With several copies, the nearest count.
Chain A
């Protein structure tokens, strides 16, 4: 059974210095508030994992939480660069950042292998690209039946996975719908998991396209209304496209970013520009 708790308590209990942490969300339902709580609690030396690191990872990297990033596409969707990520990669500020780079197909299969209790996954991937020259975690594997050579990638099993969902019931069963990305896999692959939700409800009414994560498969659930802002929570609020655009200017400069961090993350329990 999942523990029903607060965001601050959950992060304090579950996220430790040096952990491999995945905050997943594919444009939709990104657990931004949880990422900012990790910044507030000063967690360090994280290996961040995500298929599509965006603004919240830019914030965590700029705030010095991370020493590594495992990813397949890092950008500010529809806007451009993640300047804090680029500053870390290009100028080691505020600290060097180890990159481990994959394709989406590879990352998705790595989570799926992790969720399946397998040490690796097989795919037709990376062929002809320069990724295997720079990423150690890509290997060849031969089909024992046909002799065909395919690609293997190792399972991802984060110490902690964090996702945001629309709802949970009071037993901690979690319901999410819309684009659900790789969130189920991220939670099931992890040793510990935290789900932030828009709200607790008495009953999870079945909905088209909804998936339920049973309470016994989740470590902790915390109510964090608007916890995915500036991304969106289908049925609750829209994507705040202005935030994404404004982030470009805020993040471009170290001082502007640091000022923003002081005001909007350290200065409050909700992060909005």
Chain B
């Protein structure tokens, strides 16, 4: 999977990736502090800070709190994150004092696999952990981000290889096996309440905890989303069509990522 216009992508003068990033940035309206994974989430969070939420505190697992990078960082430990941060703390501190107690309202993640209950896999592809078909980079900070943030947004490109019925490995738990599972596990956060892709938006059905399509991006056919989803995708009542990116949104996004690939940094498959 590479960046740029993909399946059902550009319908106008903006790409599917741009629509995805803009939609993800819009989701951060009204939020205070966001624990940001690298790649797509970082681009979206930085876009939000520029567009409509200048006070949004970006927190990276490298220990930078309130980073204000001029371009989205290539890694979660770029020097500019430290130089522009309100505070730089140690890695044990960022997890123990800042993430773990639930004081961060949004965790922003990507995924190599995502299943109908919003569980995330970034560990291995294939049924045998010891002999994986593909060895992915692993957990990083995601398991505790998924558990401890007030809510979790996932931004990920849509494909049947990614949107699977059941992840091969639960790296970061969403709704687990379904209703009541998070509560049973004693998790404090609400879990993955929003999944933004290059095709549309998915949200968990309040009763069944299963991800259902709640919005299509402009120009995307429902059938395209269904065929890019590895389970029988439910469609929510009142399916919306996303507002297309505004000229202002596109201008700021393109200023932000003049040279950057929007590829996420997981091991290539």
Contacts and interface: CB of A to CB of B under 8 A. Distances in A.
Contacts of B170: 128-130
Interface string A68-111: 00011111111111100110011000000000011111001101
A272 interface: no
Interface string B141-185: 111100110000000000000000000011111001000011001
A80 B267 contact: yes
Most chain B beta-carbon contacts within 10 A, residue among A27, A81, A89, A109:
A27
Given A77-B74, A101-B138, A128-B185, A181 B265 contact: no
B267 A185 contact: no
Contacts of B137: 73-75, 81
B96 A109 contact: yes
A178 B91 CA distance: 12
Contacts of B4: none
A234 B65 contact: no
A89 B83 CA distance: 37
A260 interface: no
A121 B83 CA distance: 31
A212 B87 contact: yes
Nearest to A128: B173
B82 A108 contact: no
Nearest to A115: B97
B213 interface: no
Nearest to A157: B101
Nearest to A234: B79
Contacts of B267: 75, 80-82, 86
Contact of B100 (A101, A124, A148): A124
B91 A26 contact: yes
B190 interface: no
B90 interface: yes
Interface centre among A72, A105, A126, A148 (most CB of B within 10 A): A105
Contacts of A182: 90-92
Interface in B73-93: 74-79, 81-83, 86-88, 90-92
B78 A127 contact: no
A79 B141 CA distance: 18
A80 B268 contact: yes
B91 A108 contact: yes
B169 A214 contact: no
A202 to B, nearest CB: 15
Contacts of A79: 265
Q: How many A residues are at the interface, by size bracket? A: 35 or more
Interface residues of B, number: 66
Interface stretch (B5-13, B55-63, B193-201): B55-63
A184 to B, nearest CB: 7
Given A188-B101, A216-B33, A116 B132 contact: no
B101 to A, nearest CB: 3
> Interface majority SS on A: helix, strand, loop or mixed?
loop
Contact of B86 (A179, A180, A212): A212
The residue among B91, B97, B181 with the most chain A CB atoms within 10 A of its own CB is B91
A80 B265 contact: yes
Given A51-B91, A82-B267, A131 B139 contact: yes
B140 A73 contact: yes
Given A101-B139, A128-B176, A212-B87, A109 B169 contact: no
Contacts of B88: 178-180, 209
B187 interface: yes
A183 to B, nearest CB: 8
A28 interface: yes
15 contacts: A26-B91, A73-B138, A73-B139, A77-B38, A82-B267, A103-B139, A105-B96, A105-B100, A108-B96, A129-B172, A134-B130, A181-B62, A209-B88, A212-B87, A239-B78
**Top 8 A-B pairs, shortest CB-CB distance:** A27-B77, A117-B101, A128-B173, A81-B267, A73-B140, A75-B137, A77-B75, A78-B74
Given A27-B62, A75-B138, A116-B96, 15 more contacts: A72-B140, A77-B38, A77-B76, A80-B266, A80-B267, A81-B268, A105-B95, A105-B141, A111-B92, A124-B100, A128-B176, A129-B139, A181-B63, A184-B90, A241-B74
Interface of B: 32-33, 38, 55, 57, 61-66, 74-79, 81-83, 86-88, 90-92, 95-97, 99-103, 123, 129-132, 135, 137-144, 147-148, 169-173, 176, 181-182, 185-187, 263, 265-268
